[in-house]
Amino acid sequence: MELTVGAVLEGKVKSITNFGAFIALPENKTGLVHISEVANTYVSDVRQHLTEGQDVKVVVLSAEEGKVNLSIKRLETNPRQNERAPRRESAPRPTRTAPTPPPAPKTADQLFEEKLKQFMSESDSKISSLRQYSDHRTKSRRR
């Protein structure tokens, strides 16, 4: 039997690893259900969802070069898709007030003052880091 993509098969959990579960399929074939394909919720440990020897239904995601990728969660209906958010009645929109006028353009003196403040703060931080570095070096030489 050739495994086709999208085919739904019955299998038995053969072994469980940290990254997924190996499923024994018909005709002595084996496929892998990756941890991300076990359930629609976050799965930190596959053993919380599957046990060895458990019969499971799986869908074939791909079958290339002897590797068969399977999924369990794609057969389950996603509860989030089935639930629709209840429609809220729209609240009346707040009325807009008159827009505030843009601030007056800054004068050349104000621009200069802002640039000077920015330069001074950057300069102070650079000087303090240089002092810390030089203090550390001079203290280590004294030993």
126 alpha carbon, distance to own chain's centre = 37
Give the pLDDT of residue 1. 58
Using DSSP, state whether 67 is helix, strand or coil. Answer: strand
Residues (pLDDT < 50) of the chain are 82
What global pTM score does this model have? 0.53
Q: Are 5 and 44 spatial neighbours (Cβ–Cβ below 8 Å)? A: no
Give the pLDDT of residue 21. 93
Give the pLDDT of residue 141. 63
Closest CA to 21 of 7, 11, 40, 35: 35
Q: Tell me the per-residue pLDDT of 65-92, one tens digit each, with 9 for 90 and over.
A: 888 899 999 888 765 554 555 555 666 6
CA angle 6, 56, 12 (to 5 degrees): 105
Task: Give 6's contacts (C-beta < 8 A, 6+ positions apart).
Answer: 59, 60
